Amino acid sequence: MYMNTKKIIFGNLKSNKSSNQMREWFVDFKDILAKDSKKSVSGEKPFSKIDAVLAPAYPFLHLVNENSTETGLVLGIQDISSYPAGSYTGAISVQNLVGLGVKYTLVGHSERRKYFSETNEIVAKKITQALSADIIPIVCVDEGSLDDLAVKVSAEDMASCMVAYEPSGAIGSGENAALSDVKSFGKKVRTLFGDVPYLYGGSVDESSAAEYLLVTDGVIIGTASLDAKQFVSLLKSAQGENPVGL
């Protein structure tokens, strides 16, 4: 079983940004850190108290990897192929990711289910592929997919996963779920899968992240991660620091 000791802030950039925009994002991100480091006397690496994860579009994975030491960011991916390496045109297999330092992958995100017709059978295969490469799956579920997932995925595999509650109405809508609902859903997750790390995703921003972190092991950030300044502010808050002056 994966033992989570840090809160996870997972920035999901989805299919946004060009190459130039991604580089500009990192310039802004590092500029803020540089200004903040001048005020700090602790000497700690950025975001040492949390797992600050960034999942860009596939062409930009190397940028996160190359900047990980300086920024304190951990590399995540938004999806993974349900097939191994081979003749699967357009797929990104676990073999393609070797050497990039990928730690986490989202699996079964609501947008994958909605726009790409992914089922829990496919999700189960993706979990197996991720675990074969020691990549930790963050399995996204809602009320309608939770029970079926427990049937489709082996208990052994689920014990090595994290589970993220993604109410479909909250994704990209600006309408986040009530804290009581998130807490209640977490109890259902633990009943089915044991003491797995539990995250929440759905219109989380810097004003709401802190309260969700009280009842979860982490949050998935979409829109709020697109702006480097806002993402740094959120990460600082999650780490228990005052947000950087923006």
Domain assignment present for 120? yes
Q: Calculate what percentage of the chain has a pLDDT beyond 90.
A: 78
Structural domain that includes position 125: 7-238
Domain-embedded: residue 133: yes
Q: Which residue has the tokens 């689920």?
A: 158
Nearest to 35 by CA among 168, 185, 232: 232
Q: And the tokens for 233?
A: 């502010």
Q: Active site includes 62?
A: no
246 has pLDDT over 70: no
Instruction: State the alpha helices, DSSP H only, in the chain.
Output: 19-39, 61-71, 110-116, 120-132, 146-152, 155-158, 179-193, 209-213, 228-238
Q: Is residue 152 part of a domain?
A: yes
Strand 73-77 vs strand 162-165: parallel, antiparallel, or unpaired?
A: unpaired
Where residue 225 sits, what CATH number does that domain have?
A: 3.20.20.70
What's the gap between Cα 17 and its chain centre? 18
Residue 41: pLDDT band with limits 50, 70, 90:
very low
110-121: pLDDT as tens digits: 999 999 999 999
The pLDDT of residue 40 is 55
Mean pLDDT score of the chain: 90
The active-site residue, picked from 24, 66, 70, 109, is 109
Beta bridge partners, 54, equal 11, 75
Active site residue 166: yes
* Largest CA-CA distance found in the chain, in angstroms, rounded: 53
Q: Is residue 243 part of a domain?
A: no
Tell me, yes or no, whether 24 lies in a domain: yes
Q: Is 246 among the domain residues?
A: no
Which letter does DSSP use for residue 45 in this model? P
Average pLDDT for residues 1-11, to the nearest whole number? 79
Residue 184 lies in a domain: yes
> Distance between CA 224 and CA 205 in Å, rounded?
6
Q: Which of 121, 166, 206, 211 is catalytic?
A: 166
Beta partners for residue 104, in sequence order: 76, 136
In a domain, 1, yes or no: no
Token readout for 99 is 């050497």
Centroid of chain to Cα 187: 21
Number of domains in the chain: 1
What percentage of the chain has pLDDT greater than the value 70?
91
Q: State pLDDT tens for residues 158-193.
A: 999 999 999 876 565 567 788 999 999 999 999 999
Strand pairing partners for 7? 50
Flag whether pLDDT at 245 surpasses 60: no
Tens digits of per-residue pLDDT, 46-90? 898 999 999 999 999 999 999 999 999 999 999 999 999 999 999
Q: What is the pLDDT at residue 101?
A: 95
